[in-house]
Each structure stands twice: as structure tokens, then as C-alpha cells.
Structure 1
Amino acid sequence: MNDFESLFRQLDATGMAPPPTLQGLVLSLLLALTLGQLTAWVYTKTHAGLSYSRSFCQSLVYLMVIATLVMFVIGNNVVAAFGLMGALAIIRFRNVLKDTRDTAFVFLTLVLGMAIGSQRIAVALVGGAFLLLLSLWLHFTRFGVRSHFDGHLSYRLSGPQDGTGVGELLNRVFTRYCQELKVVTVHDSGDQVEYVQQVRLRDRKRGNELVQDMRGVDGIGDVTLVLRDESVEI
């Protein structure tokens, strides 16, 4: 028993970092608050699906500040570290994260908060900037999505097509609203042709405008645009 007590005293007396000051504590908490808000903002902008929670977004900010404060409480005191571990063991965490990506952001906020609290500011800034930029890059490049099309477009072309300019007008509409088109099926019944195409829009929010402009072209009817639910592939 005396050996353990002497070990704790030696570790506690070994100062690997200067004692924290009030100014250092305030600056670290402000940095954690700023970086936590930036992390939560990136999470909000890159989130996809139906499991978005405002409380979880705010919790990311709380976690980074709390982790920073915990590191100041522990410092180089091993006894305090074990005491805090025992206190946290009493708390039962019943929240189940529905998305594994949420778990990654929780770990990110905790690690950055620990880095700030241990006065490794450069590690927190460089590591945080790298991981947040990585999250934005994965989001905007649609990394991991199996299909890059937004949905299916179906329409019927009826009446004579030669010399009417319908194809040219239709191509203008497609150029205005679509980045890419891929024909899935073509059904020719003689007096009319039915098309089903996969479509990638320039802006998903302008899908209704695409449908309205197509309906305004003579000879085009039964225009239907079915967009893929973004929550299917996250």
C-alpha cells in the first residue's frame, strides 16, 4: 500500500507542464468554444439524412469545452485523473448515436478539447483544420455515394418530331437544369415515345422549374421527376 502511495506522490510531484494560470484557462476555454462552434457548423453543413438533432449539434460545443476544462482539472495529478474516472463511471450514458459519423464527430470534439486543455494548441489547430477540411471534402465530393444521379425523369414525346424543333428546345431545357442525363428506357408506340432517364441536376431545389419548363414545350407531356431521398445513402 505504501508503494502505491509513494508512486502517486512521485507522479504528482513530477511536473511535465507548468501550473495552469487563470489567463491560460480563460484563453483555452475561449479557443475551445470557438473551435467547438466551428466543428458544429461543419457538422451541420455536411449532415445528410433524417437523424439531425439540434441538441447533438450543441453538445459538440459543450463536449469540447468540457474536455478542455477536464484536462485543466487533471493536469499532472494522477490521483485526480483516477477520481474523475470513477466519477464518470457512475454516470450512465443511454444516448444511442444513430449514425456512425456522429460518433466520429464526438471523438473529434473530445480529442481537440483534450489537446487544448493540455496546452497543445498547435496540435488542436492543425489537427482540427485538417479534419474539418476533410469532412467538407468528403461531403462535396459525395465520397461513398454509389449513385451520383439525383433521380429519374420520365416524359412522353408525341406528334411529329422532324422539323418541329422540339428536340432543340428540350436540349436547351436540359442544358439549363441538368449536369448529366442517362437514358434508362425508351418505349416507342408509334405516335408517341416514352422516355425514362436518370438525371443529375445542377440544383436539386430547381427540380420543379425543370418540370414546368418541359411541360411548356409543345409535344411534351406526362413529365414526372422523382428525386432520390438523400437519407438513403449517407
Structure 2
Amino acid sequence: MNDLINQLNLNFDENFSILNYVINILICGVLLFFLKIIYVRYGTAISNRSQLSKVLILVGITTFIIISIVKSSLALSLGLVGALSIIRFRTAIKEPEELGYFFIAISIGLGLGANQLLPTVIGFGILILIVVLLNKNKLGNSFSQNLLIRLQCKNDDKSKITDQISTIVSEHSNQVDLKRIKYANEEINFNFSINISSIEKIKAIHDSLSKIDNSIDVTFLSNEI
């Protein structure tokens, strides 16, 4: 019975070391910063990787703090489970890659929050090595753009022109995501999110689209704006 009471004790561990805590949280921050760089450099998601990479740091540090608080108390651990059961993560994760990086960030926070420095660092190093090896020849030098297209056309030609534009954009892009399409009176508006490998691809897309109609309005915008 005494052991059970001790487990439910809300007091922190008497052996808690402020120096050790600060060192671990600094190491956690450094590892998460490297994870941020790796995600921006080698990630293939066409969403705003620069913005999402900042969230990875917040998630990892928050996980570290939570684990540091609850690891010495069964009551706090049970309370955390109850709190998490009513929390809903409502932001849609569109690509599995994003979820994978979130798990890496959480793992770093868990490991260092539990004072498992060596396993965490070794595991992180192996994961980063795998990511680099798998992606070194892929989209490392690519970048993302928002492509806005506006074109005047007859209503009878809208279906044909839609297919032509989609084909051209897909042929010159590594990844394509149609964000919005609007059919107005004798006008079509497209909003694509694309991933391209070089500036030359922008010119190639523009030239190909101009062959459909010289009056076509084509705009490229960085999705990091």
C-alpha cells in the first residue's frame, strides 16, 4: 500500500537536477533544429515546408517538457492520458511524410525528456542518415510555387482547355496539386501548387501555356510568402 501511495505522490523527484534538465533541453533544441533543416532540404511535400518545420521544433520541445514533468509521477501520467483523450488535432495532415517528421520530433522530446540521451542521439543520427540516403537524388534541389492561370475561353472549350492545361503543368512539374479551379462566364481560373526542379521549368510551363492562347495570364508565386 505504501508503494502505491508513493507512486501517486505528485512531488518531483528529489534527485532532480536543474543542470541536467537545461543540458537535455538544449540538446533537444539542437536535434530539432537539425530536423528542421533536414525536412526543408529533403522533404518532398508541396506544402509550405519552411512554415511546418518551425512547428516541429515546438512539438518536440513541448513533448520534452511534458515527459519531464510526468515521468516521476503515476498520477500526472494518468492525468495526461485523460487530458489527451479530449484533445483533437483538427489540422489535416495531407501527406504521410509530414506525419513521419512529427513522429521524429515527438520521439526526440520523449527520449530526452526521459533522460535517455544516448539512445535518442544514436536513433536520430540513424534516421537522418536514412532520410539523406533515400532522398539525395530526388527533390533536394527543387522548390515549390503557386501557379495562377487565368484564361478567356468559350464555354464549349472549357473542358478541352482544362485537360490541356493540366497535362502541361503535370509534364513540367515533379508534383502537382490542384488547389482551386473556377469556371466563370467565358473564363477559367486555376490555382496549382507545384514542385519544380529548376527555374527553366517555369519558362517551359509559360511557353507551353502560351501556345494555347497568347492572351493567357500566368503568375508564379512562392508558397513561402
TM tier relative to shorter chain? 0.5 to 0.7
Other-structure match for 1:205: 198
Q: SS of the residue aligned with 1:119? A: coil
Shift of 1:51: 1.6
Q: Which runs of 4+ in 1 moved over 6 A?
A: none
Other-structure match for 2:22: 26
Please list the CA deviations of residues 122-161 of structure 1 after superposition, one character each: whole Å capped at 9, or x if unmatched. 0111001110111111111449xxxxxxxxxxxxxxxxxx
Q: SS of the residue aligned with 1:90? A: coil
**Residue number among 126, 134, 137 corresponding to 1:138 in the alignment:** 134
Q: Distance in 1 between matches of 2:24 and 2:85?
A: 26
Corresponding letter in the other structure for 1:126 = I
Please list the CA deviations of residues 60-105 of structure 1 after superposition, one character each: whole Å capped at 9, or x if unmatched. 0011111111111012211100112222223221011111011111
Conserved? CA contact 1:42–1:132, under 8 Å: yes
Corresponding letter in the other structure for 1:123 = P
Relative to structure 1, the CA distance from residue 206 to residue 71 in structure 2 (aligned partners, 3 Å threshold; closer, same or farther) is closer
Conserved? CA contact 2:40–2:49, under 8 Å: no
Corresponding letter in the other structure for 1:88 = L
**Residue number among 95, 118, 128 corresponding to 2:124 in the alignment:** 128
Q: Distance in 1 between matches of 2:92 and 2:62?
A: 20
Conserved? CA contact 1:20–1:72, under 8 Å: no
Corresponding letter in the other structure for 2:67 = M
Q: Distance in 2 between matches of 1:99 and 1:206?
A: 25
Q: Distance in 2 between matches of 1:8 and 1:109?
A: 33
Other-structure match for 1:42: 38
Unmatched segments (≥5 aa) in structure 1: 144-203, 212-234
Conserved? CA contact 2:45–2:98, under 8 Å: no
Corresponding letter in the other structure for 1:95 = T
Q: Distance in 2 between matches of 1:49 and 1:32?
A: 24
Larger Rg, first or second structure (1 or 2): 1
Conserved? CA contact 1:32–1:64, under 8 Å: yes
Q: How large is the RMSD of aligned CA atoms in angstroms?
A: 3.0
Relative to structure 1, the CA distance from residue 18 to residue 107 in structure 2 (aligned partners, 3 Å threshold; closer, same or farther) is farther
Corresponding letter in the other structure for 1:98 = K
Tell me, yes or no, if structure 1 residue 104 matches structure 2 residue 100: yes
Q: SS of the residue aligned with 1:110? A: helix
Corresponding letter in the other structure for 1:77 = S
Please list the CA deviations of residues 204-224 of structure 1 after superposition, one character each: whole Å capped at 9, or x if unmatched. 53758xx9xxxxxxxxxxxxx
Corresponding letter in the other structure for 2:119 = V
Taking only the aligned residue pairs, the percentage that are identical comes to 17
Query: Higher mean Cα deviation, 100-109 or 82-91?
Result: 82-91
Corresponding letter in the other structure for 1:127 = G
TM-score normalised by length of structure 2: 0.56
Unmatched segments (≥5 aa) in structure 2: 140-196, 205-225
Q: Distance in 1 between matches of 2:45 and 2:70?
A: 38
Relative to structure 1, the CA distance from residue 28 to residue 106 in structure 2 (aligned partners, 3 Å threshold; closer, same or farther) is same
TM-score normalised by length of structure 1: 0.54
Q: SS of the residue aligned with 2:76? A: helix
Relative to structure 1, the CA distance from residue 61 to residue 49 in structure 2 (aligned partners, 3 Å threshold; closer, same or farther) is closer
Other-structure match for 1:63: 59
Corresponding letter in the other structure for 2:32 = G
Conserved? CA contact 1:67–1:110, under 8 Å: yes
